[in-house]
Amino acid sequence: MQCTIDQVSGFFQTTLDVSVLRLDKIHPVISGNKWFKLRYYLEDAKAKGKKSILTFGGAWSNHIIATATAGKIKGFNTVGIIRGEEPAIFSPTLLNARAQGMQLVFIPRNEYSEKNIPAEYRTDDHYLIHEGGYGDLGAAGAATILDGLTENYTHYCCAAGTGTTAAGIANAAKEKQVIAISVLKNNRNLKEMIKALLASGVAAPELLHDYHFGGYSKYQPALLEFMNELYKHMQIPTDFVYTGKLFYAVRDLIQKNFFPSGSRILLIHSGGLQGNLSLRKGTLMF
């Protein structure tokens, strides 16, 4: 897949070469890394003759809407097991997923886990994809994010939730350095989760845990101001859950001389913009 690359060294006020791989632009709904993470699961499901895809997520999940949309395009029924009671007012994510034909099944938060799939869905008819697309096939798909890049980079930087994307990129990047910005607070499992997906001999991504802004889907004014500034100068929209934190982290790392001179840095813009709809209107300028 051919993707746009934006040069952003000026915005970061650095002589290092800093570019952005705009996965946010590949599809209006299945934006970013989710499409890559899903592709081999969907192929596997087809090969196994499954008619239905079952997966998990929250009410604003990029993975849920991506699975609903990609599943529909590929001719699957989809079931989304959603964390929390059925809300009186559906989020745009859930409305959109339902409009794509996804069947939504709500599980109270304290019971929500992949072990608690309702019995009627715990059958062989459904092809199960883990929450966030975590797993070897997800990492194999994420590895293809780097396909078709013609330039050489010394550092790949990405946001990490389950770490599937970071692992896939590390597997594809070979000896290059991968820096993963954890968007969860104190997610010390992440290291092991990523390690389980790395091919043998591949160096583990460097995990940074200081840019979560309070935790998963938490934010502070400084993050939103930064996202607006980035948009104003570069017309690059980011989301407050993942990519805003990634770009913020990279700016901070550059200011702290984290990257050696001569570095060529590629930020992976992993999409997720629909999540911004959970913010009050007007919070962001885009």
Ligand X SMILES: *Cc1c(COP(=O)(O)O)cnc(C)c1O
Question: Taking contact as CB under 6 A, which single stretch among the options 86-94, 116-124, 170-178, 267-275 is the one that binds ligand X?
Answer: 267-275
The Cα–Cα gap between 175 and 200 comes to: 13
Closest CA to 11 of 235, 259, 245: 235
Dihedral of CA 109/211/186/21: which sign? positive
Question: Taking contact as CB under 6 A, which single stretch among the options 10-18, 112-120, 153-161, 196-204 is the one that binds ligand X?
Answer: 153-161
Rule CB under 6 A: choose which of 272, 274, 276, 284 binds ligand X: 272
The dihedrals phi and psi of 215, each to the nearest 5 degrees, come to 135, -175
For residue 128, the SS3 value is strand
Q: Which residue reads 């980011």 in tokens?
A: 238
Site string for ligand X, 170-209 (x = CB under 6 A): ----------------------------------------
DSSP 207: E
- Residues 246, 18 contacting (CB under 8 angstroms): no
For residue 79, the SS3 value is strand
CB of 151 to ligand X, least distance (A): 22
Rule CB under 6 A: choose which of 65, 76, 239, 284 binds ligand X: 239
Question: Taking contact as CB under 6 A, which single stretch among the options 45-53, 222-230, 235-243, 254-262 is the one that binds ligand X?
Answer: 235-243
Q: Which is nearer to ligand X, 237 or 271 (CB)?
A: 271
The Cα–Cα gap between 21 and 153 comes to: 12
Q: Is residue 131 part of the contact set for ligand X (CB under 6 A)?
A: no
Q: Which is nearer to ligand X, 58 or 161 (CB)?
A: 161
The Cα–Cα gap between 24 and 40 comes to: 20
Site string for ligand X, 31-60 (x = CB under 6 A): -xxx--------------------------
Q: Which residues bind ligand X (CB under 6 A)?
A: 32-34, 62-63, 132, 159-166, 239, 242-243, 270-272
